[in-house]
Amino acid sequence: MHITFSELRKIKHDLPTGSVKQIANDLNISEQTVRNYFGAKKYQNGEVIGKHIQPGPEGGFVALESSDILDAAKKILQQEQVTA
Q: Computed over its alpha carbons, how large is the radius of gyration of the chain?
A: 12
CA distance 67 to 75: 12
Look at residues 30, 58, 75, 34 and name the one whose alpha carbon lies nearest to residue 83. 75
Cα(37)–Cα(22) distance, integer angstroms:
15
**pTM score, two decimals?**
0.80
> Please, where are the H alpha helices in 1-84?
5-14, 19-27, 31-37, 68-83
- For residue 61, the model assigns a pLDDT of 85
**pLDDT tens per residue across span 6-52:** 999 999 999 999 999 999 999 999 999 899 888 776 656 556 566 66
Bigger pLDDT: 69 vs 82: 69
Query: 39: which DSSP letter?
Result: T
